[in-house]
Amino acid sequence: MTLLAVRDLTVRFGRRRLVAVDSISFDLGPRQRLGIIGESGSGKTVTALALMGLLPETAQVSGSIQLAGRELVGLPDSAIARLRGDLMSMVFQEPMTALDPTMRVGRQVAEVLLLHAGRSGGPARAQVIEMLHRVGLSDSERVADSYPHQLSGGQRQRCLLAMALINSPDLVICDEPTTALDVTVQAKVLRLLDEVLTAESAACVFISHDLAVVSQVCSDVLVMLDGRIVEAGPVARLFTAPEHPYTRGLVATSRIDEVPPGARLPTVEDFFPREQAR
Amino acid sequence: MSADDAGGGVLGTSETSSEPLYRVTDLTRSFGRGGRVRALDGVSLEVRRGQRLCIVGESGSGKSTLIRLMAALDRPTSGEISFEGRSIVGMRERELGFLRAAVQLVFQDPRSSLNPRMTVGSIVTEPLRSAHLRSALDAVDPRQRLTEVLRAVDLPTDAATRYPHEFSGGQRQRIAIARALAPDPAVLIADEPVSALDVSVRAQVLNLLSDLVAARGLTLIFVSHDLAVVRHLCDSVIVLKQGRIEEQGSAAQVFAHPRAAYTQALLAAIPQIRL
Ligand SMILES: Nc1ncnc2c1ncn2[C@@H]1O[C@H](COP(=O)(O)OP(=O)(O)OP(=O)(O)O)[C@@H](O)[C@H]1O
Ligand SMILES: Nc1ncnc2c1ncn2[C@@H]1O[C@H](COP(=O)(O)OP(=O)(O)OP(=O)(O)O)[C@@H](O)[C@H]1O
Ligand SMILES: [Mg+2]
Ligand SMILES: [Mg+2]
C-alpha cells in the first residue's frame, strides 16, 4: 500500500511559465523515509510545497498527488488546509517566513495544536512547553513567551519542528530542518524526529543537502536536477554506487574534510559537465 | 572574480600599523526585563587585517548577537568595540561611514534581509549606490559588476530582473552573498552564509572566498556550525558558549587538541555517511 503517490507532477511559474518541477513521479509507503537531495534550485522545495498545497497563486500545477487515496491536485484550499492539520505537516526551509512576527511563538505552536484537537486553552500550554523542551530548547518557557525576532536562528528552526511534530501527522515533510543547528543539537533533533516518526508510524520526506544526515535518516533517496528526478534508489546503493554522473559528482564533492585546508574544493562540474544535463 | 577587477584596494586598507582592525573589550549584551537574557557576557577579542576568524558555538550562544554588534547594527549593554582604532560604540549613524564603507554583512536568514519589492539587480547593486562608497567606487560600472558577482555565485544573469521570492532558498542565500561582495569590501562578516547551499555550490562559494582572501587580503569574520567548513576556510576559531568565549586559538590547534568539552563534543558529533 502507498501513502503518497505522485505522478507526472509538473509546476510552472508566472506568465513565462518557467518549469520548476518537470513531470516527476514517486511513491512513498507508510513509515517510509524518503530523502530528496539535489542542486540548489532543482525543485526540491517547490515539490514539497506542491504536496502541502502551499504554492503561490502564480504557480500552475499539473499531474497527480494522491495522499491516502485522495487526490490533492485541484482540491480547494479549504479542503487541503484541513489535511495539513491532520495528515501532513512541514518544517520550512526559512523559519522566519513561516512564523508570524507579531505573535509569541508559544501561542503559534498552541494554535496548531488546538486547530487539530479542538481542545481548549488549559493543557495546551503544558503540551507546548513540553514539545519545545523535546526539540532541545532547555529554556522552553522563555522561548514560548518570545516573539520570533527575539530568538536565534536555531531556536526558530526548532520552534517550527515542534509545530510540525506536535500533532503527530501521518506525513512529515522536512525541508532542510537542521541547517541552522550545530551538530550536537542536530543529533538531538534527529533523534527526536526518529522517535516521533516511529511512535506515530508516520512517513517522512526529508530534503537536505547534507548527505551524511540523509544517510542516517532515510532508507531511500531521490536525486533532483533541473526539476527532474535523475536517479532514485535505496540510500546504501545510491551513495556507494551512484549511476548518474551528477549523483557521482555530488557524492564525490561532499567530503570537504578530505581536502587539505585552503586547497581548491572540487565542484560537481569537475565530474560532470553541466551542459550535459540540459 | 579575478584579482585584476576594478575597485581592488580602494576601500581603506592602506594603513599598515600593528593596530588590530577590530578590538572588542569586555562586551556584554543583555535582553529582556532586567537583562534576563545575557546573550553576550564579557567577550574580548581582536581581529587582524587579513585574518579569517570563525565563530562557532551552540545555537543561542550569542554568535549572531556578537557580529551584529561588530557591524554596529545593535548597541552593547556595556563594553567597547573599536574599528581601525576608533570606538564605534555610541556613534551616530552618520559618523559610521568609515565602518560602513569597509564592512559588508551577510545575514543568517537571507529571505528577511532582502527587500521583497526590489529586483535582484537593484538589491545587489544597492551598496554601490550608497553614499559611503560612491566616491571610492567611481570607476566601477554597476552593470558590469552585477554580471560579475552573479556569475561568481553561479546565478544566471537573467536573475537580475526577478524578485527575491522567485528564487530557491540557496539561490537567495547567494543573492545575499553577491550583494555583500559587490562593493569589494575590506571586511566580510557572514552569518552561516553557506548553510543552505548544496555541496557543489558551497564548494564554489568557499573557493571564491579563499580567492578573495588570497588576492585582496579580505578579512573574514565567519559564523558557522559546520566544522568541516571552518577547518577549510579559517585560520582562527572562537568557540562561544552561553555568551562567553569557551575556547580560542588557531584553527589547526583547536581541531587537533580541542580543550573545551563543548568543542570536543562538536568534533565528535560531525555526522558521517552511514550505510
Ligand atoms: N514563486 C516562484 N516564482 C518563480 N520561480 C520560482 C518560485 N519559487 C521557486 N522558483 C524557481 O523554481 C526553481 C526551483 O526552486 P526550489 O525552491 O524548489 O529549489 P530547491 O531545490 O529547493 O533549491 P535550494 O536547495 O536552493 O533550496 C528555482 O529555479 C526557482 O528560481
Ligand atoms: N532581540 C532579542 N530579545 C531577546 N532575546 C534575544 C534577542 N536576540 C537574541 N536573543 C537571545 O540571545 C541569545 C543569543 O542569540 P543569538 O541569535 O546571538 O544566538 P546564535 O549563537 O546566533 O544562535 P543560532 O546558531 O541558533 O543562530 C538567544 O538565547 C536568543 O534567544
Ligand atoms: Mg529549497
Ligand atoms: Mg545566529
The single-letter DSSP state of residue A264 is P
* Residue A104: band (very low, low, confident or very high) from pLDDT cuts 50, 70, 90: very high
**Rounded to the nearest whole angstrom, what is the distance from the C-alpha of residue A152 to the centroid of ligand 4?**
5
- Contact call for residues A92 and A123 (beta carbons, < 8 A): no
Which residue type does B113 have?
S
The confidence score (pLDDT) of residue A133 equals: 92
- Give how far B138 is from chain A: nearest CA, Å: 33
Q: What percent of chain A has pLDDT over 70?
A: 95
The confidence score (pLDDT) of residue B137 equals: 61
The runs of H, that is alpha helices, within A135-244 are 140-144, 153-165, 183-199, 211-217, 235-240
Is the CB of B158 inside 8 Å of chain A's CB atoms? no
Radius of gyration of chain A (CA): 19
pLDDT digits (tens, 9 = 90+) for A164-205: 999 889 999 999 998 878 888 888 889 989 998 998 899 999
The confidence score (pLDDT) of residue A28 equals: 97
ipTM, two decimals:
0.88
The confidence score (pLDDT) of residue B15 equals: 46
- Contact call for residues B30 and B38 (beta carbons, < 8 A): yes
Is the CB of A266 inside 8 Å of chain B's CB atoms? yes
The neighbour count for residue B80, using CB atoms within 10 Å, is: 15
Candidates B58, B202, B228; nearest CB to A185: B58
Candidates A212, A239, A265; nearest CB to B271: A212
**Rounded to the nearest whole angstrom, what is the distance from the C-alpha of residue B242 to the centroid of ligand 2?**
10
Residue B9 pLDDT exceeds 70 = no
* Residue B212: band (very low, low, confident or very high) from pLDDT cuts 50, 70, 90: confident
How far apart CA A155 and CA A185 sit, in angstroms, is 10
Mean pLDDT score across all residues of chain A: 90
Which residue type does B189 have?
I
Q: Chain B residues with CB inside 8 Å of A44's CB?
A: 168
In the block, residue with C-alpha cell 555517511: B273
Domain housing B55:
50-71+96-268
Please indicate, yes or no, if residue B246 is contained in any of the structural domains: yes
**Rounded to the nearest whole angstrom, what is the distance from the C-alpha of residue B105 to the centroid of ligand 4?**
13
Please indicate, yes or no, if residue B28 is contained in any of the structural domains: no
pLDDT digits (tens, 9 = 90+) for A208-240: 999 999 999 999 999 999 999 999 999 999 999
User: Which of A138-142, A151-155, A265-269, B79-83 has the largest mean confidence?
Assistant: B79-83
Please indicate, yes or no, if residue B19 is contained in any of the structural domains: no
Cα angle A182, A183, A186; round to 5: 85
**Atom 29 of ligand 1 has which residue's CA nearest to it?**
A41
Mean of pLDDT values over A18-46: 96
CATH number of the domain enclosing B236: 3.40.50.300
User: Which of A77-86, A199-208, B254-263 has the largest mean confidence?
Assistant: A199-208
Please indicate, yes or no, if residue B14 is contained in any of the structural domains: no
Residue B3 pLDDT exceeds 50 = no
**Rounded to the nearest whole angstrom, what is the distance from the C-alpha of residue A48 to the centroid of ligand 3?**
9
**Rounded to the nearest whole angstrom, what is the distance from the C-alpha of residue B68 to the centroid of ligand 2?**
11
Mutate to test the pocket of ligand 1, among A12, A17, A46 (most ligand atoms within 8 A of CB): A46
Task: Please list every protein residue whose CB sits less than 6 Å from any atom of ligand 2.
Answer: A 149-155, 180; B 31-32, 37, 39, 57, 59-65, 108
pLDDT digits (tens, 9 = 90+) for B146-189: 999 999 898 988 899 999 999 998 899 899 999 999 999 999 99
Please indicate, yes or no, if residue B228 is contained in any of the structural domains: yes
Mean of pLDDT values over A253-259: 80
The interface residues of chain B toward chain A in range 196-215, judged by CB-CB distance below 8 A, are 196-204, 206-207, 210
Is the CB of A95 inside 8 Å of chain B's CB atoms? yes
Residue A122 pLDDT exceeds 70 = no
Residue B7 pLDDT exceeds 70 = no
- Contact call for residues A102 and A91 (beta carbons, < 8 A): no
pLDDT digits (tens, 9 = 90+) for B44-67: 999 999 999 999 988 899 999 999
Please indicate, yes or no, if residue B250 is contained in any of the structural domains: yes
Is the CB of A265 inside 8 Å of chain B's CB atoms? yes
Residue A160 pLDDT exceeds 50 = yes
Q: Cβ contact (<8 Å) for A93 and B169?
A: yes
Which among A142, A17, A168 has a CA at the least distance from the CA of A85? A168
How far apart CA B134 and CA B98 sit, in angstroms, is 13
Residue A276 pLDDT exceeds 60 = no
Candidates B37, B170, B273; nearest CB to A239: B273
Which among A199, A254, A195 has a CA at the least distance from the CA of A221? A254
Q: Cβ contact (<8 Å) for B200 and A259?
A: no
State how far the alpha carbon of B248 is from the alpha carbons of A181, B255, B264, in Å.
21, 11, 13
Select from B154, B199, B222 the residue whose CB has the most chain A CBs within 10 Å, as the one to mutate to test that interface.
B199
Q: Cβ contact (<8 Å) for A181 and B174?
A: no
**A267: nearest CA partner in chain B:** B200
* Residue A119: band (very low, low, confident or very high) from pLDDT cuts 50, 70, 90: low
**How many structural domains are present in chain B?**
1
pLDDT digits (tens, 9 = 90+) for A84-99: 877 899 999 888 888 9
pLDDT digits (tens, 9 = 90+) for B90-132: 899 989 999 999 999 998 887 778 999 999 999 999 988 876 6
Is the CB of A241 inside 8 Å of chain B's CB atoms? no
Which ligand is in closest contact with the Cα of A60? 1
Please indicate, yes or no, if residue B16 is contained in any of the structural domains: no
Is the CB of B94 inside 8 Å of chain A's CB atoms? no
The interface residues of chain B toward chain A in range 232-251, judged by CB-CB distance below 8 A, are 232-233, 251
The confidence score (pLDDT) of residue A182 equals: 83
Please indicate, yes or no, if residue B86 is contained in any of the structural domains: no
In this prediction the pTM is: 0.90
